[in-house]
């Protein structure tokens, strides 16, 4: 099975696998460094007791809404670490960090904590890249563009062919034609770029088999 994270983009147009042991299609990724894994999951809303249990995703029980929180939806996520990065995988349609980083205090990007988020935005496309480089700010771009910050991540997007021509560089007809020809490979190119930038590798067989630990995360909308 595939390593790296290009495979996440390659299957991003597929529907989630549903009630099977793991994840495969439409997976959103949030990766962070400069922060402890458990602290990052708690900031996303993870339950302390559930986190302490380290239950594998394949063995998960149905995620229940906490008592007294009728309006909150909780979705199961996988998590792990690779090198200096921690990561969260979700296939419910969005990335939890993306839903809350602008309004939830615990999710706001702090100095010295870098976060890269790829949210598929299943119900409200396009898919987005959000990069908090560690200066307390976050920069956002659609798949097919870079953040405009001339960062090392932007350079990785360019090198992977994940930045498509814009109306500033070509005519509307040329832009449309390019996207029609190359659009299917765009998610794979974006995930390839982020994997190269972060040095991130997540084993496809482990994710599809649900062999990473899981935690329920509340949707913030």
pLDDT at 220: 80
Residue 35: its H or E element: none
pLDDT at 58: 94
**Angle ∠(203,11,60) on CA atoms, nearest 5:** 60
* Contact in structure between 45 and 66 (CB atoms under 8 Å): no
Query: Does residue 189 sit in helix, strand or coil?
Result: helix
Query: How far is Cα 105 from Cα 117, in angstroms, rounded to an integer?
Result: 17
pLDDT at 65: 55
**Predicted TM-score (pTM) above 0.85:** yes
Q: What is the pLDDT of residues 15-46, one digit of tens each?
A: 887 657 899 999 999 999 999 999 999 999 99
Which residues of the chain, if any, have pLDDT below 50? Answer: 69-70
* Contact in structure between 41 and 215 (CB atoms under 8 Å): yes
With b meaning 16 or more CB within 10 Å and e meaning fewer, what string describes 11-42? bbeeebbeeeebbbbbbbbbbbbebebeebbe
């Amino acid at each position: 099975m595939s390593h790296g994270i290009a495979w996440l983009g390659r299957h991003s147009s597929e529907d989630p696998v549903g009630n099977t042991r793991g994840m495969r299609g439409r997976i959103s990724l949030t990766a962070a460094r400069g922060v402890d894994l458990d602290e990052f999951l708690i900031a996303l809303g993870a339950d302390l007791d559930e986190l302490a249990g380290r239950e594998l995703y394949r063995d998960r029980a149905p995620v229940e809404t906490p008592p007294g929180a009728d309006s909150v939806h909780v979705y199961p996520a996988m998590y792990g670490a690779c090198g200096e990065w921690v990561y969260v995988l979700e296939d419910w349609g969005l990335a939890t960090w993306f839903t809350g980083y602008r309004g939830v205090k615990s999710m706001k990007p702090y100095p010295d904590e870098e976060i890269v988020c790829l949210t598929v935005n299943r119900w409200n496309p396009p898919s987005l890249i959000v990069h908090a480089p560690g200066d307390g700010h976050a920069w956002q771009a659609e798949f097919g563009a870079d953040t405009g910050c001339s960062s090392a991540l932007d350079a990785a997007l360019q090198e992977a062919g994940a930045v498509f021509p814009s109306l500033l560089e070509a005519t509307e007809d040329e832009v449309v034609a390019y996207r029609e020809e190359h659009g299917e490979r765009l998610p794979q190119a974006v995930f390839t770029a982020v994997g190269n930038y972060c040095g991130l590798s997540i084993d496809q067989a482990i994710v599809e088999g649900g062999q990473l630990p899981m935690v329920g995360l509340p949707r913030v909308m």
